[in-house]
C-alpha cells in the first residue's frame, strides 16, 4: 500500500512527499529491519538517512527486499562535514549511492554549513545536471548561511532541513525560505519526543477535540504550514499512528493556539558558530 500523502513541490517541479520517515539513531539491525519493513508496509515511501547515521546500507537492503519499484521511493541522504569539498564530496556521494544500492538519489543535502561547503555545492550542481540527484539542498542552514550560498550558487538550494517543532517554529527562517522558494523540511518535528511538549495541555486539548494523539496534531500542524516532516520511530504502533494525519484538519484557531507555544527554544545546539571537532565524526551535533 501507499499513503494518501500530500506533496510539496520543489522549485524545479519535483514533488516530495510531505510525510517521510527518519532513520537517525536506528542502528541495531533487527530494530532497523523491523521499523523499515513496518514503515514500507504502512505505506511510507519517503526515507531520510545520512552518511553519519551509519545505516545507509541497511536502508538500501530493505528497499531492495521490499519489492516496491524504485521510482515509488523518495530517498534522501546527506554529506557529512569531513567530506565537504569538490572531489571529496563527489566521492562521498558515490559511496552513499553504493551503500544504498541505488542509481540516483532523490535528494542530497549538505548536513551542516562547514568549511568546503561552497565547493561541495558546485559538485552537487554537477551531479544534479547529470541526473544523479533530483533535488539538492542543505540542512541546518540559518539565513546568513543561505544568503552566502545564494550569492555563489548557480542553482539555488531547493530545500533546507532544520529543527522545527511547536516550541521552535522557525517563523523568520520559514518566511525567508518561502520568499526564496526554498522548501522547509522539519527534523525533530515532534520535539525529539520531548515529554513536556507531548504533554502540553494546549496540544492535549486540541488532540482530544479531534480524537487524535498529540503527535498526530503536531505533525498535522507542520503539514498545514506547508512543511515536510520526517518523524522517526521504531515503535510499530507509532509508525502507523504518525501516518494517520490526512483524515482531519486543524482549524484556524487550532493553528493560532499552537503558534502561541513558540518560545524560540531549541532542543539541539545552534548550527551557528559551532566548532568542528574530530569527535563529530562519531557524534552528531545535537541531531
Give catalytic residue positions. Answer: 53
Give CA–CA dist 165/261, Å, rounded. Answer: 10
- With contact defined as beta carbons under 8 Å apart, do 42 and 240 qualify? yes
CB within 8 Å of 137: residues ≥ 6 apart: 107, 108, 109, 110, 157, 158, 159, 160, 161, 182, 183, 185
In this structure, are residues 218 and 203 in contact, taking their beta carbons and an 8 Å threshold? yes
State how far Cα 53 lies from the chain centre: 13
The residue written with cell numbers 492535549 in the block is 204
> Is 192 exposed, middle or buried (CB count within 10 Å of its CB: 0-12, 13-18, 19+)?
middle
End-to-end CA distance of the chain: 31
Which residue matches cell numbers 532542543? 267
Q: Which three cell numbers stand for residue 157?
A: 538550494
- Is 180 assigned to a binding site? no
Contacting residues for 9 by C-beta, under 8 A, at least 6 apart: 15, 16
Q: Are strands 21-22 and 15-17 parallel, antiparallel or unpaired?
A: unpaired
Which residues sit in the known binding site? Answer: 111
Which residues sit in the known binding site for substrate? Answer: 111
Amino acid at each position: 500500500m501507499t499513503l494518501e500523502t500530500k506533496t510539496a513541490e520543489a522549485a524545479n517541479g519535483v514533488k516530495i512527499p510531505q510525510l517521510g520517515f527518519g532513520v537517525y539513531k536506528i542502528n541495531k539491525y533487527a530494530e532497523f529491519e523491523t521499523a523499515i519493513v513496518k514503515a514500507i508496509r504502512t505505506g511510507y515511501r519517503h526515507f531520510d538517512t545520512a552518511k553519519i547515521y551509519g545505516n545507509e546500507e541497511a536502508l538500501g537492503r530493505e528497499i531492495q527486499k521490499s519489492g516496491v519499484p524504485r521510482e515509488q521511493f523518495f530517498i534522501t541522504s546527506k554529506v557529512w562535514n569531513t567530506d565537504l569539498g569538490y572531489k571529496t564530496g563527489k566521492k562521498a556521494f558515490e559511496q552513499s549511492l553504493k551503500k544504498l544500492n541505488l542509481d540516483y538519489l532523490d535528494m542530497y543535502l549538505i548536513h551542516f554549513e562547514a568549511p568546503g561547503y561552497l565547493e561541495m555545492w558546485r559538485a552537487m550542481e554537477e551531479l544534479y545536471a547529470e541526473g544523479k540527484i533530483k533535488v539538492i539542498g542543505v540542512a541546518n542552514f540559518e539565513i546568513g548561511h543561505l544568503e552566502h550560498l545564494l550569492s555563489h550558487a548557480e542553482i539555488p538550494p531547493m530545500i533546507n532541513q532544520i529543527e522545527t517543532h511547536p516550541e521552535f517554529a522557525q517563523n523568520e527562517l520559514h518566511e525567508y525560505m518561502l520568499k526564496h522558494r526554498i522548501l522547509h523540511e522539519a527534523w525533530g518535528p515532534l520535539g525529539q519526543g520531548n515529554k513536556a511538549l507531548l504533554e502540553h495541555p494546549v496540544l492535549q486539548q486540541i488532540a482530544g477535540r479531534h480524537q487524535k494523539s498529540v503527535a498526530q496534531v503536531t505533525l498535522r500542524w507542520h503539514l498545514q504550514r506547508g512543511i515536510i516532516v520526517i518523524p522517526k520511530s521504531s515503535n510499530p504502533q507509532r509508525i502507523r499512528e504518525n501516518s494517520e494525519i490526512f483524515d482531519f484538519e486543524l482549524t484556524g484557531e487550532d493553528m493560532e493556539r499552537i503558534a502561541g507555544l513558540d518560545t524560540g527554544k531549541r532542543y539541539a545546539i545552534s548550527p551557528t558558530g559551532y566548532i568542528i571537532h574530530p569527535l563529530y565524526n562519531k557524534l552528531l551535533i545535537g541531531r
